[in-house]
Each structure stands twice: as C-alpha cells, then as structure tokens.
A and B are shown apart, each in its own frame.
Chain A
Amino acid sequence: MFPTPIEKTSRSWQLTYQSLLPLALIMWLLPLIAVAIFSIKPAEDFTQGNYWGVPSSFEMFANYGQVFFNSDMPRYMLNSVLITVPTVIGAVTLSCLAGFALGIYKFKSNIWIFFMFVAGNFVPFQILMVPVRDLTLDMGLYNTKTGLVLFHIAFQTGFCTLFMRNFIRALPYELVEAARVEGIAEWKIFWYVVIPLMKPAIAALSVLIFTFIWNDYFWAVVLTQGPESQPVTAGITSFNAQFRAAYHLMSAGSIVAALPPVLMFFLMQKHFIAGLTLGAVK
C-alpha cells in the first residue's frame, strides 16, 4: 500500500493525521457548510449583517417550509423526476441492446459503430443545440418533458453503450458459445444468459445517468421554459429571481434541489463508484 500505512508510522504522525482529517474535510466542504448555515438562519440575520456568525434563531422549518409550500419548487422537483426516470429506463434499455450487439458479435463495422457512439458522446453539446432545438420545435415537443426525455435518451446512449459494451466484453464469452451449442436462440441468450450477468452494470449505469440527467442544466434551458416542464436545475434560477437576495430561502432551495442525487449517491455508493471508475484499473 502506498503511502505507508499510518499504523506503521510514528505515533506523532498518527496523531497529526487523525487531527488533519476532520480539518481538511471542513476546509473542503466550507462553501457548502456556509450554505447549510445560511439555510437555517432567519431573514433578520441578513439585514443585520450577521452573515456567518451563529444564527440568532434556528428557522429550519420556516425556511424549508417556504420552499416546499410556498413556491414552485415541488413542481420543478416533480418535473425532474418525470424527466430523469424515463431517461434512465430508456438509455439503459437501448444501451443494453446495443452493448450486447457490440460486445458479443464480431462483424466488420463493429468497431466503427462503437467509435461512433464514443465520439458522439464526447461532442460539445453546443454543436447540437441549434438543430436539436429546431427538431424539437418541428415535432411540437418544445417545452415538453417528452422532448427533453427523447433527446436525453439519445445522447446518453453514447456513454451507456460504451459502458455496457466494455462490461460485456469482460464477461466470459464461453457462456455464450455454450448456449449456442445448445441451440438456444440469440435473443434468449441475451435475455437469459447475458442480462442476469449485467445486473451490476445496469445498477451502476442507472445511478450515474440519474445523477447526470437530474443535474443537467443546458438542455433544460434550451428545450423548456416555465414551471410546467422545467426541471429543478432550471427552475432554481426563477426561484432565486422570486426570492432575490433572500439568501436563507435561496440556500434552502438549492439544498432541496441537490438532495435527490446526493441521497442516490449515499444509498447506492458502491454502484455509483463502480460505474464512475470502470476502466480506471486494468
């Protein structure tokens, strides 16, 4: 193990390390801690200039209550869910199929189709912006959740296929061969042999895509407007316009908006990290 395990070092360094850890963490999360403190302060603290001192009273329920019951926030959150969940299902399904095709079969254009997905996934969004916005307008899907979902599925398919294909490549190919010898139809091999082995990849990809899509801002701004279809990342800007300079409410709003992916991460940590670091180790 590198660096030298702490148990094997001098007592004084052990103690220093143990006390450095929490200090470093507090430094690292300082901007966030400040926002969390903002979000439980009463409005008077800001007018009286008590910005980063101890709150004069704890208004957690009042502030978060405002966010939940007195703004469009719940609506934006619901929109985000209705955009994110179908996208996850769609992109994971498409990429399971495509990943199976690219991972199992050997045919001439295999690598080129694979590279098309990889390259497309790296492309800057902006080059897609004008045509995709136009396309969505033409289909009558501008400012609808469906329009956003369809695009997200298509774009995420690039990354997901890369992920799935590499995962399937690492599976034991003999299983597929054995099934073929038994005369099992190809689609049944997919469904009964490969899919059960892909469960960890599906879990990892689902949490990753959930986070990516929940956090998307650019496409939300390009393809939607207004509380009837905008997800929370775009909605938070109108929320902030509504509560201009009311830092206690804006902070509470941001924390609420950030919560679902954070929960997802802490609940599904193993899968999340496995997904992110696929390929980081040979």
Chain B
Amino acid sequence: MSTVDPTVTSSRKDRGWYKRNEIAVTPWLFLAPAILFFVFYVIWPIYQSIAISFYAWDGLGEARFIGFDNYVELMDDRAFEVSLWNNLKWLLFYLLAIPGGLFIALFLNQTVTGIRIYKSLFFFPFVLSQVVVGLVFSWFYLPNEGLLNGILGLVGLGPVNVLGDPTWATYGIIAAGLWPQTAYCMILYLTGLNAVDPEQIEAGRLDGAKGWKMLWYIIIPQLKPATFIAFVVTIIGALRSFDLISIMTNGGPFGQTRVLSFYMFEKALAEFGFRMGYGAAIAVVLFLIMLVFIAYFLWSMWKEEKGR
C-alpha cells in the first residue's frame, strides 16, 4: 500500500518518460544546481590546488612542473615550522572554549528574572565578525591606551605589550579567539542542559550524587551531542584561524604568530611576490591535517546514520 509503483499507477499510454521515471529522476533535478555549484567552486579547486602544489608558478606566467620540490623546501623552512607549531597551540588552547562554555552555561542555567537577557548578552560576542573581535582585542592589549594595562596598573603590575612579545603574541590572539568561541559552546550547552532528563537527576539525587559527581556521571554523558558539535566547530575554527592573526599582528612580531593558513596566504598573495605552487603546498599540508578530523567527523555521522 505504501510503496506506490509509478509504472503500475500510470498505465495510461500518454505518460511520458519523465512521468514514468519521476521518482528516480526528480532527486537529480533537485540536486543538479547545488552539485554544479559545489563541484565547480569547492571540489574541483581542491584537486587543482593539489595539482598546483607540484608546480613552480607565479600566477601569471608558465607553470613549471617540479615534482615534490615544494614539499622538500617546506621541510627546511623555519617559518613553516613555526606556523605548524602555532597551529598546534591553536588546536590545543582553542579547545578550552569547550569547558569554558560549559562552565558559563552551568552558571547561567537558572530561571531568575532577566536571565534571558544575560544569556543573549553573554552569547553576543559570537555574532561579531572576527575582524571586529581582533580590533577590539588589539585595542584592549595596547601598551598605553589599552584597558588591560590600565587594570594591571591598578594592581601594580607593569605594562605588558602582549602582541609585541614574540612568546606571548600567539596566546594573546588565541585568547581573543576564545571569546566568541566560548560563547558558541555556551549556547550549545545551554540548549543541551535544557534537554537533560530531570528524572535521571532526581534518581541521582536520591542516590546521593551531587555537585561534581552529578555533573560528571549524569549530566555530561547526556550532553554528548552538544559536546560533539562543540568539538567539531572548535577544531575547524582553530585550523581556519586567519582573520584574527591578519588583523591583530599580521603574522608578527618576527613572524612568530603565523599559522599555516596565514603563511600560505602570505606566500601566495602577499609578501614576496606570488608563489602559488609553494602556497598550495602549504594549503595541502593544512588540508591533510584537517582530513584526519573530517574523516573522524564523517565516521561518527555515518555510525549515527546507520543507527537510525
């Protein structure tokens, strides 16, 4: 009854080819524009980038095939090494947004008057563009005019030039990035907390679980879907970091805040002429790092699809 065979219901002769194959053809008609756009602008360029990484090319003249030379050069490139380490720092410290977001969500998960406004105001840094976040924080860090040093001065600590110090600059930028990212994780957890099963909490209370134990054994397991999404968006955010670095330090001081995405941009479009091949090689490395995570994300999604 529920499976309607179109060839049976349409025994009339005037039905055209389309009518007879409607169920099989329609999805492809609906998919065609999206697939066309996506393949043209996303999938094909990935392949092209990989191809370009084997060439020496300035973007204008003839491209010259050089095999793995770009990759060999990367191995001895000190700036590449610095960028790679910084990417690792980003990955590691950016994940702080997850416990940070959970902490704020727990703090705000109450029903006092005006709490909704508090929640939106806590969330709203996420809506700001990274460019504005970058500007706001670079002014916050300013050695003389910045509020940070104003506050440090009040408690008698000397002025620090966060973004001018090669060791601290990257951490300063990551802190700026954590601001909107924590807000994002917070909203994910607030939604998750809303759906936590109250009966399980009551059962836990009866069993004498409270505070940390309750959180760890009863609440956090139920927040798993929110944690998964928080993890996905934070990892991707960390590896995509570009805007903040470009705005706050432009890679400096002494190139110490570069990450792969920024270094790639510098090599291909900005600094010393256009080295498209070399830039593409850096992008491929970044892509391969991301691929590990993409594979893991897809695998988790696939498991869930099968479970349905």
Contact = CB atoms under 8 A, between A and B. Distances in A.
Nearest to B110: A6
B7 interface: no
Given A116-B43, A157-B37, A280-B188, A250 B135 contact: yes
Interface string B37-63: 110111111101100100000010000
Interface in B214-270: 214-215, 218-219, 225-226, 229, 232, 236, 239-240, 242-243, 246-247, 260-261, 264-265, 268-269
A229 interface: no
Given A32-B136, A52-B150, A258-B128, A157 B120 contact: no
Contacts of B41: 128, 132, 135, 150-151, 154-155
Contact of B52 (A2, A131, A190): A131
Interface string A14-55: 000110010011001111101100100000001001011000
Contacts of A18: 112
Interface in B277-295: 279-280, 282-284, 286-287, 290, 293-294
A124 B286 contact: yes
A281 B191 contact: yes
Given A130-B283, A281-B192, A186 B23 contact: yes
A276 B192 CA distance: 12
B34 to A, nearest CB: 4
B156 interface: no
A154 B284 CA distance: 21
B287 A127 contact: yes
Contact of B305 (A111, A150, A215, A217): A111
A121 to B, nearest CB: 8
A125 interface: yes
A211 B46 CA distance: 26
Given A122-B290, A261-B129, A38 B139 contact: yes
A107 B139 contact: no
Which size bracket describes the interface of A in this complex? 35 or more
Given A97-B31, A101-B30, A130-B283, A262 B201 contact: no
B129 A217 contact: yes
A115 interface: yes
A159 B150 CA distance: 42
A241 to B, nearest CB: 12
B93 interface: no
Interface stretch (A57-65, A66-74, A175-183, A198-206): A175-183
Nearest to B134: A217
Given A34-B140, A280-B191, A155 B42 contact: yes
A254 B135 contact: yes
B165 interface: no
A280 B45 contact: no
Interface in B120-149: 120-125, 127-132, 135-137, 139-140, 144-147
A34 B142 CA distance: 12
Given A127-B283, A217-B131, A134 B118 contact: no
Interface residues of B, number: 106
Contacts of A185: 22
Majority secondary structure, B binding face? helix
Given A177-B2, A217-B130, A280-B192, A124 B30 contact: no
Majority secondary structure, A binding face? helix
A161 interface: yes
Given A25-B122, A97-B34, A129 B23 contact: no
A143 B89 CA distance: 35
B94 interface: no
B49 A128 contact: yes
Given A185-B22, A273-B187, A95 B34 contact: yes
Contacts of B112: 6, 17-18, 21
Contacts of B269: 129, 133, 222
Contact of B124 (A215, A221, A237, A262): A262
B157 interface: no
Contacts of A258: 127-129, 132
Interface string B82-107: 00000000000000000000000011
Contacts of A233: 129, 131, 243
A30 to B, nearest CB: 7
Given A30-B140, A131-B49, 7 more contacts: A7-B111, A35-B135, A51-B146, A101-B28, A217-B242, A218-B242, A281-B226
| 8 A-B pairs with the lowest CB-CB distances in the bound complex, closest first | A215-B129, A154-B41, A131-B45, A98-B34, A101-B30, A101-B27, A131-B48, A277-B191
25 contacts: A2-B214, A6-B111, A17-B112, A29-B121, A51-B144, A51-B145, A100-B30, A101-B28, A116-B43, A119-B298, A124-B240, A129-B49, A129-B268, A130-B52, A157-B34, A177-B4, A187-B26, A222-B269, A254-B132, A257-B132, A258-B129, A261-B128, A265-B127, A277-B226, A282-B225
